[in-house]
Amino acid sequence: MTALAALMMLASCGRETASEGPLASHVIVIGLDGWGSWCMEKGEYPFIKETMQEGAWTLDKRTMRPSISGANWAAMMNGTPVEFSGITGNEDHPTFTPILLTEHGNQPTFFHVLKKERPEARTGVVCEWGDFLNYADTLCLDYYKRIEDPEGHPDAIVTESVKFIQEQKPELCFIHIDALDHMGHSYGQGSAEYYAELPLVDDRVRRIVEGIKDAGIYDDSIIILTSDHGHYQTGHGGDTDLEITTPLLVWGKGVKKNHPIKETVIQMDLAATVARILNLPQPQSWRGKVIEVFE
């Protein structure tokens, strides 16, 4: 290679890096606990259905094993296989020695990476399941709130999430809604009660999205709607398709519209995808792949 060719290569590499940049300024992840893909054939979810035309989606996303909440919400945020993280269930600590820990004693979550790269970026979690916070690394959150008695106050998740988004316009926010999981545990997969809850949860998602629009950040946001696991009868944690298959829907700035995702997707791909959107480096321990949904 001549000196000139080497110089041109360097220059072109430099340009590529510089032109990559963030794909959007804000990422809002909305997680519906226990939203199994099984309910998408017969269920009523008008807002989500309409939004699928606006974005990219799959009904074949896989859970991490076991199909338990903690292990799966954790993998979405830390991009790491459970074999590395030791987060194998709903415990508030790893059940075996993790391969890597940050200075906070956690896996590096996408909140951690964002705060390290851009300390001024605002981060937050609003959740109905308090244990969710065990996996987020709260030392990297500017704001976090657990909704008390969500069954008694089903609208609080909407009000509190919208309030946070409008006041702080976060770069990265995770909202967790528990109602479907509760119906799955109380009445079972396929129950009338679960199906009755689905349009109510759909409407909560709609109102949160309205709130993002009212905050004035919608056009510069990418929204990800997904779940941790499905159900088998009144439980989960096993390997049936009903438990291990959940939807994922991505829409917003620069995301392909009406695009069925053909590639394989697993929970930890979420962290890699959020890192790509916000132009963050992936920690070496991450193993997720960027989901190919961008134009």
Sites of contact with Zn ion (CB under 5 A): 33, 69, 181, 228
**Which residue's CB is nearer to Zn ion, number 14 or number 89?**
89
> Between residues 184 and 283, which has the closer beta carbon with respect to Zn ion?
184
Q: How far is the CB of 181 from Zn ion (least distance, A)?
A: 5
- Phi, psi (rounded to 5 degrees) for 247: -80, 160
CB of 135 to Zn ion, least distance (A): 12
Least spacing, CB of residue 140 vs Zn ion, in Å = 22
* 121/147 with CB nearer Zn ion: 147
Closest separation in Å from C-beta 29 to Zn ion: 15
Minimum separation from the CB atom of position 114 to Zn ion (A) = 24
- H helix runs in the chain, sequence order: 3-20, 46-52, 69-78, 82-85, 110-117, 156-168, 179-187, 192-214, 241-244, 269-277
Extract the tokens encoding 133. 């916070």
- For residues 24 and 220, the answer to whether their CB atoms sit within 8 Å is yes
Kindly tell me which of 171 and 181 has the beta carbon lying closer to Zn ion. Answer: 181
**Measured between alpha carbons, how far apart are the two ends of the chain, in Å?**
34
Closest by Cα among 212, 228, 179 to 45: 179
The H or E element that residue 174 is part of is strand 172-177
Name the residue nearer to Zn ion (CB basis): 22 or 130: 130
